[in-house]
Chain A
Amino acid sequence: MIQFIDGNEALVQGALKAGCNFFAGYPITPATPILLSMMSELPARGFTAIQGEDEIASIGFCIGAAMTGKKALTATSGPGLSLYSENIGLAIMGEVPLVIVDVQRLGPATGSATKDASMDIQFVRWITSGGYPVIALAPSSVEDCYLLAVHAFNFAEKYRTPVFILSSKEIAQTRMRADLDLVALPEILERTSPASTGSGKAKAVSFANELMQPIGIVGGEELSRFTGSSHDEWGNLTKSPEVIASLNHHLNTKIDADDVALWAYSGPEKPKTLIISYGIVSRSVNEALREIKNRETGHLILKTLWPVPETVLKTYLAEAETILVPEMNHGQYLLEIERLKPVGTKIIPLNQINSELIHPKRIAEALLEVSHA
């Protein structure tokens, strides 16, 4: 079916497709439309959506609901994401499946509420104490919002962890022609109830990095135990250095970067010049390459930003002589590419934070400079 919809609407359709059955959020531009849609879509399906008194309450509601077995979603923008910080730590520690949409807008503090930028790229990675890995996906189109919403719920279930969707104003609020039926979706993963342990108590977690592990359900048949404090596999508090070490090792290693890597590449097999982009900027790059009929340049669009898809990046970085990294921030993902690139590869950052999209002309000019150099 062909629709004229924006990224926020597509994201809601994707979340519903993935089985989202709980939402809590607090209004903030440009994420508010997700709240409004969920407040009507979920009750229409017999589920619950609620506007919290603030972002802290909203993510708290989601965490509580998620641990009863719900597939929970919340959506915000930079200022609200800042308030989520401590609870994201809890969700990492308690291994809570949860999807968090950050519809990015420009600036720290209030910034330019209705303007686009990619300011939260490193923020979501280091958003809370501990420095543990998170999963973050970045759509660059309306169709991506739909697709990545489904992936996000799947990854949240598979790895029992909060998953971010790093949308942004231009993707979220620009209507486009889209046919979501043409988007090939992954199989939808459902949570499994823990097998009886015989003791009447549910295991909280296994430190063996098992995927899709059955988890204790608050209100389930076996008594569950959830805690944000250091705990053993049964959720009991512990002071044992050995147990604490295995808990923290587990949290640090449980996400398989290759498994969650999503990307798209177009261009020659071994490009001399490579552009690496993500989010809305990818579209400026596409436009530029088409406009100047450039077929020698490779274009790698990253849809998974965290964990860094190192295998993919290293493969492409190995071949190119020059890498162009356009970003609507001061060079946040550049840091990751710089640390992975072979010695001698030239990196050209292209940054813009002026409330406007990067014009394809700027990209074309940068490519021209590369070819003259």
Chain B
Amino acid sequence: MPESIQSYLKPEVKSFPFCPGCGHTTNLHHLDKALVQMGADPKKTVIVTDIGCVGLSDQYFDVHAFHGLHGRSITYATGIKLANPELKVIVLMGDGGCGIGGNHLVNAARRNVGITVMVFNNFNFGMTGGEHSVTTPIGGLTVTTSGGNIETPLDVIGLSQVCGAGFGARLTTFDKELPSIMAQAIEFPGFSVLDIWEFCTAYYSPRNDLDKQAMLAISEAHSLPFGILVNRTDRREYTTNLAAQPAKQTKLPPDLSPRFGTLKSGKLELILAGGAGQKIKSTAGILGQAAILSGGYASQKDDYPITVKTGYSSAEVILSPEPIDFTGMMSPSAALILSIEGFQKEKDKLKEMGPGSFVFLEQSLPEPVTQAQIIRVPFEAIAKKVDRNSVALVGLGVLLSKTGWLSKESVEAAIGIGQKAAWLESSLAAFNAGWETGFSV
């Protein structure tokens, strides 16, 4: 930490580039004083600027400086803070930035991320020529509100407050205590925001006879009071909160090195189709894993509507002794159809299925148009006796014992992989019930 820095402004810079009397100049001198007052460590301080005249500010300071896009300064500041929570990150943005980037203001406040946003609020877009902004007062004259502004001005502090900001103050550029409140905001551990009212001497101020007195009148007329309006420490700062979250260990997907001989069948294409809640997806996974455990290759593609808890659920699984390139269905070897939703979803594909292929069909379903051999099984009824949630596993059992495409051991091992102990027994029972049934259909 440097002993005592007299000024954080670059020594080679003699003045700021703003118009004479521009509030930005005053504010930046106040910010310099605040940094001096805090004894800020330049290496641990970052000024992130938005776009607009205010966006020219960062380069005059001997601290880390970051100048990004219009309205997005809060996002870069948040990224910097998340990556390195020990930094003091100060955002300087205009009232224009508050409009285009309002969503980020809302969310930074909600998160209570420990950055400081200073809004240099001159009631209009300075840089682009004096258009109205989200903070232009009612009646305010600008190049885009020639009849007087009719949009309610945004209460920057009020908005931040309802979103959960920790610290918020509205001030004017004349306030003697501005440097110390700036310092207080920067030192505040959570999200802090300052709405600093000031002059755009090129546009808004002359057009609206804005002076200190007029500012007070605007404050009065719009119920936008001055002072420290929010100061709460009951919410923990975001990165502190994040660090305190319990880190859950993750694990890699299970190792599926072959352990059940070699896949004897040739390439097989299987369709599993049913309704939501029938465990189609997990059963398709078991099928693929069993093939891999048997030395083969597999692919699995699931399909279900966005409304996951209702409607169809289907999966396409390819098993092959060779690596698989094309993962679409070319000529399905078998389809397992467990419910009317699945039937409707796949009935066109059943039409394409030729002799020598199988359709394993829930007993109660309508007759499909297909050349495949149809095998009707009361899957639901069998499942009800063992585990009514494992209809698809019953179906898999029937399909595999009937066709002999995979060994019982390989499927049981696949069921055991990644399965919660509580489910294991009933899943195995469902599969076995299907397996036994398969001999008699």
Q: Tell me the A residues contacting B by CB distance below 8 Å.
A: 1-5, 9, 13, 22, 24, 40-41, 43-44, 46, 48, 50, 52-54, 56-57, 59-70, 72, 86-87, 90, 94, 113-114, 170, 173-177, 218-221, 223-229, 235-237, 283-284, 286-287, 290, 356-357, 359-360
Contact = CB atoms under 8 A, between A and B. Distances in A.
25 contacts: A2-B292, A4-B253, A4-B285, A4-B298, A43-B247, A50-B82, A52-B107, A60-B72, A60-B76, A64-B81, A68-B84, A173-B302, A175-B301, A176-B298, A176-B299, A177-B296, A177-B297, A177-B323, A218-B46, A218-B80, A219-B43, A219-B64, A223-B63, A283-B327, A286-B326
Nearest to B316: A174
B253 to A, nearest CB: 5
A175 B432 CA distance: 26
B325 A175 contact: no
Contact of A40 (B82, B83, B250, B302): B250
Nearest to B72: A60
Nearest to A24: B79
Contacts of B255: 1-3
A174 B64 contact: no
A4 B59 contact: no
Interface of B: 42-44, 46, 48, 56, 59, 62-69, 72, 74-84, 86-87, 103-104, 106-107, 242, 245, 247-250, 252-258, 285, 288-289, 292, 296-303, 306, 323-328, 330
A236 B67 CA distance: 11
A280 B289 CA distance: 23
A335 to B, nearest CB: 26
B328 A3 contact: no
A221 B44 CA distance: 9
A229 B249 CA distance: 43
A17 to B, nearest CB: 12
A54 B78 contact: no
B51 to A, nearest CB: 9
B253 A228 contact: no
Contacts of B43: 219-221, 223
Given A4-B292, A226-B68, 16 more contacts: A48-B242, A52-B75, A57-B103, A59-B75, A60-B68, A60-B75, A61-B78, A62-B79, A64-B48, A175-B299, A218-B64, A218-B66, A220-B64, A225-B64, A283-B327, A359-B330
B328 A236 contact: no
Nearest to A220: B43
Shortest 10 CB-CB contacts between residues of A and residues of B: A64-B79, A60-B75, A61-B79, A64-B76, A287-B326, A65-B83, A53-B107, A68-B83, A65-B79, A287-B325
Contacts of B79: 22, 24, 60-66, 68, 72
Contacts of A286: 325-326
A44 B288 contact: no
Given A4-B298, A61-B79, A176-B299, A53 B59 contact: no
Contacts of A40: 248, 250
Contacts of A94: 68
A177 B256 contact: yes
Contacts of B324: 176-177
B82 A22 contact: yes
B83 A90 contact: no
A278 B303 CA distance: 24
B253 A9 contact: yes
A299 to B, nearest CB: 11
B326 A357 contact: yes
A13 B59 CA distance: 40
B78 A60 contact: yes
A44 B247 contact: yes
A68 B253 contact: no
B256 A4 contact: yes
A357 B328 contact: yes
Nearest to A48: B82
Given A50-B82, A60-B75, A227-B67, A283 B288 contact: no
B252 A3 contact: yes
A87 B68 CA distance: 9
Most chain B C-beta atoms within 10 Å of own C-beta, residue among A65, A87, A219: A219
A306 B240 CA distance: 41
Nearest to B51: A228
A237 B60 CA distance: 11
B65 to A, nearest CB: 5
B292 A224 contact: no
Nearest to A115: B303
A70 B298 CA distance: 37
A29 to B, nearest CB: 8
Contact of B44 (A53, A219, A360): A219
